[in-house]
Amino acid sequence: MEGHKIIKAMRIYLGMSQREAAEKLGIYLSVYQKYENIPGFVMRANFTRVCKILEFMHLDPNKFFMERYELTEAGYEVTARETTGSPTNQQKRILRECCPVRYIRSRNRITEVTILSSDLK
């Protein structure tokens, strides 16, 4: 699961630096950075704190832990950049065009086709 990348992409999408996110969440910057930079840290961390972070990032904790979110192309491009400051103008432009995360409605077990929330009408 790429939970750490999803959290980073949503933070950048919301236009915050890591420091701003940590301050608004009431945690140390070094702790917040672990959530974004260490693969698997989200799954091993304090459940209540993780839920607070997810809700702050406008992500549903149930869907997150059931692996119902995935990065879009914009999300992958943004998380590939190793920045700790505010998003660059290029990142802002990319993210204005589309959200870095999409919700997976379901997967067809036979055909392996992913059904996204945007596919439903």
CA atoms within 13 Å, Cβ hemisphere of 78: 36
pLDDT grade for 82, boundaries at 50, 70 and 90: low
Q: Tell me the per-residue pLDDT of 26-37, one tens digit each, with 9 for 90 and over.
A: 999 999 999 998
E-assigned strand segments in the chain: 69-71, 101-107, 114-116
Mean pLDDT within 89-103: 80
Give the position of tokens 């959290």. 7
Distances (CA, A) of 64 to 40, 43, 59, 70, 81: 13, 10, 7, 9, 23
pTM of the predicted structure, to 2 decimals: 0.79
Question: Residue 6: pLDDT above 70?
Answer: yes
Q: What is the mean pLDDT of the chain?
A: 82
pLDDT grade for 53, boundaries at 50, 70 and 90: very high
